[in-house]
Chains A and B, each alone.
Chain A
Amino acid sequence: MQEHRTMAEQQIESLLRGPQYETVQTDKEYFLVPLFRDLCRDMSENCPPYGRFLERLGTPIHNWQGLADIPPLPVTMFKHFELRAVPISQVVRELRSSSTTSSAPSRIFVDKTTAFRQARALAAVLKEHIGGSRRPYLVLDSPDSVQAGDQLSARGAAIRGIGSFASSVHYAYQTLPDGDLVPDFDTIESFFADYASAQPLLFGFTYIVWTRFVLEMEKRGLTFGASGATMLHSGGWKKLIAQAVSKEEFNSRTAAIVGCSPKAILDFYGMVEQVGTVFVDCSAGNKHAPAFADFIVRAPYTLNPVEIGEEGLIEVLSVLPASYPGLALITEDLATLLGAEDCPCGRKGRYFRFTKRVEMTELRGCGDVFAQSRERP
């Protein structure tokens, strides 16, 4: 047992240390499947609910032939269950999702091993997209999002993670007592005055970037001429889709404010349930899995992997989680599988584009819910 754990640890180390996008899909599966078998077996022993989940809904672990054979745990389960594979004394940080679409946030228990892997993984991925040098970092959020203590929101975790690439950190917003964010124009203008030519790094949540940065700056006619800047952003597109803002429009108008190329506006797909495992836009606008992770786009009903060109539910697989069962998670997001091994950017493996969140169907009809609370008396 100890021997295979050590071996798994070595394999994860080698994945984090090596190049992130150079392995073709078949080789990747060949390497990752046995590793996931070991990791899932350990996880099922250390987290009994996960063991039950695998036993009740999967085939025996030794029968898994491909990554698609691993039963994916729905990501929302972290809202309903306290899923831990380590004693609470070993938890160094509890991550919490925002609870915008649900009253209960996800609770993710991170131990030292997982935290270390997550930090290294994020650095390994971002390094391949934005380079390894430290840059002035403008956070398009408020310092309150990165609260002190052992609990951290999804926003806070992302802000901190990207912070490892920062030579200095500046917060562009302040939180009002009602929770709203207001731009700190002095900080924003002085940041760009000082660092516009120093290849600054910007990060914010997509909706905040659009509503609090792009629209606010456009209203005031402000642009910053930071031609070497890179902006990373992440988070839901639902509200932007509702406002009919396409990714292309988002990129071009954001780039016009910052003063950089639209290709330097990089969306990444990630979630608090898998911090460190991020899928960053490549130069062709597609998303690839890093070496230590993978994704599967699954068809509705059959849940089989889709063919190229088809849309399906996104499942993300990552070797990073050691303290909670986040190894294979199926989301409520949809993506189109665009291809494998032939992305114009040159990265290997499969690639996808996020499309939207799953929406409630019109077909549910009158046989709907029992909950009385949904009816007015």
Chain B
Amino acid sequence: MRITQFLPTGKRFSDSLMPLLDELRQNSSELAGIPVARLLNLFDDFGGKLLQHPETKTLDGVAFLSTWLRKSNLEGMLRMNLGGSPEFLDGFLPVGSVKLAAKPRGLVSMWMAGNVPTLPLFSLVQALSAKNVCMVKLALENQPGMIPLLTVLSQCEVAGLNGSTLFKFIAVVWFDYKYQDLNEELSWAADTKIMWGGGPALKAISALPRREHCTEIAFGPKYSIGLLDRKRLERSEGFDNVISAFVRDIAAFDQRACSAPQTIFLEKNLRLSLRQVAELFAHQFRRLPPKLSLDFYTTVRIINVRAEWALDDQRDLIASGPEANWTICMDSTISMKEAVQSRTIFLTEIDSWRQILSLITPKIQSVGIAFGDPSDAEAFANEATLRGVARCVRPGLMNGFESPWDGKLLISEVVRWVSLKG
């Protein structure tokens, strides 16, 4: 059996996606008839229950997911995506001389990345809110936490809607990415394809055959950075909090999210040397619990980068010890360093933030900014976003999934705007 389906009750195995896809299509009109407010109430309940269930409350990123699922947040997101009125999802509303409605695109096929355990939920909840039936293809056969997450969803209940009902509208599956026929089946079935992942994965998925009307939404691959300006570095008040917030951004999802900072630029200043800032980072890293495990590939990347920095007299580093726990690499070469991930950060000293503008491309997703003066922060954000950056946020908020993401308002891309004039 090549397909593993994830259900609240466990896993089910099959050899074809067709029966699942047919069932989703058959149920799509039932989903379209559920008022959006009822869906949001259910997701709100889901968010609350995630923090109570023993198997979900400890999952990486679940605290944020719980907050994100709050009705007030999702409502705000829908308003932003849908011209101010989530009710466009429930039927026609007058806009001037015409009536408009936001209809679901139909079936949304999602190819997920394996780096963030909660990522499928961010994608799924948005597509479901717009009343699309969804098939989610996971990256990993044993996606951490997936069955507990679905179990909690199935146990939610609000007036007029049970969580278990939602499983008529979603199917979460895994199959080996090498099965071209299954990937093609999933792609042919889609009215919209949502893809998360690295460059080779996105290219392969995008190359799959699809129907003419099918739209594609791609997230990744991206790279994120941090920036500390001179004025903030010279002000000691609250500076430890800035560093600890950056370290939280680095540690979350083992730095595998596209929003995790890899290189942090620091302007030269009169208070702290590069080494002193690195020591402050080291202090915060030492307070993190050890990692539970690490794969061989990332271990090799870490020991290689440590050696590269240690051998070079133009560079410096501080490492946790022989174990591949955390590593701080320091230099003055103005460049974006290749991401190593897993608590490996590159601190690069610069004269002025203007020196990094030429390095900024649409490849950069988020910049964690700590400026002493808000007007400088805005000046940087103007320049950086012009060159392709999607988000400039405070340290500590870098991995906070929000809308827009990667410059896209996802919900607005999984609806069809229809009109009635007559």
Contacts and interface: CB of A to CB of B under 8 A. Distances in A.
A52 B311 contact: yes
Given A52-B313, A74-B303, A374 B199 contact: yes
Contact of B298 (A77, A303, A361, A367): A361
A300 interface: yes
A52 B310 contact: yes
A8 B41 CA distance: 76
Q: Which size class do A's interface residues fall under?
A: 35 or more
B258 A366 contact: yes
B299 A367 contact: no
Contacts of A73: 307
Given A80-B308, A300-B299, A372-B363, A365 B113 contact: yes
B255 interface: yes
Contacts of A368: 198-199, 220-221, 223, 258, 339
Contacts of B266: none
B319 A49 contact: no
B323 A53 contact: no
Interface in A266-302: 300-302
A367 B297 contact: no
B280 interface: no
B16 interface: no
Interface in B247-265: 253, 255-260, 262
Contacts, number: 158
B338 A370 contact: yes
A366 B299 contact: no
Contact of B300 (A53, A83, A332): A332
Contacts of B196: 365-366
A370 B262 contact: yes
Interface stretch (B55-63, B68-76, B288-296, B409-417): B288-296
Contacts of B403: none
B335 to A, nearest CB: 9
B344 to A, nearest CB: 12
A53 B311 contact: yes
Contact of A313 (B257, B296, B309): B296
A367 B298 CA distance: 13
Interface residues of B, number: 58
B322 interface: yes
Nearest to A58: B322
A364 B363 contact: no
B200 to A, nearest CB: 8
Interface in A1-59: 48-50, 52-53, 56-57
A360 B299 contact: no
B307 A301 contact: no
A150 to B, nearest CB: 25
Contacts of A300: 293-296, 298-299, 324
Nearest to B399: A367
A49 B310 CA distance: 8
A369 B221 CA distance: 7
Contact of B114 (A74, A80, A362): A362
Interface string B309-343: 11111001101001111000000000011110100
Contacts of B293: 300-301
Q: Top 8 A-B pairs ranked by shortest CB distance?
A: A365-B115, A366-B220, A301-B294, A365-B113, A56-B310, A49-B311, A366-B258, A370-B336
Given A74-B303, A376-B203, 10 more contacts: A57-B310, A77-B308, A300-B299, A313-B296, A358-B296, A361-B296, A362-B139, A364-B341, A366-B221, A375-B199
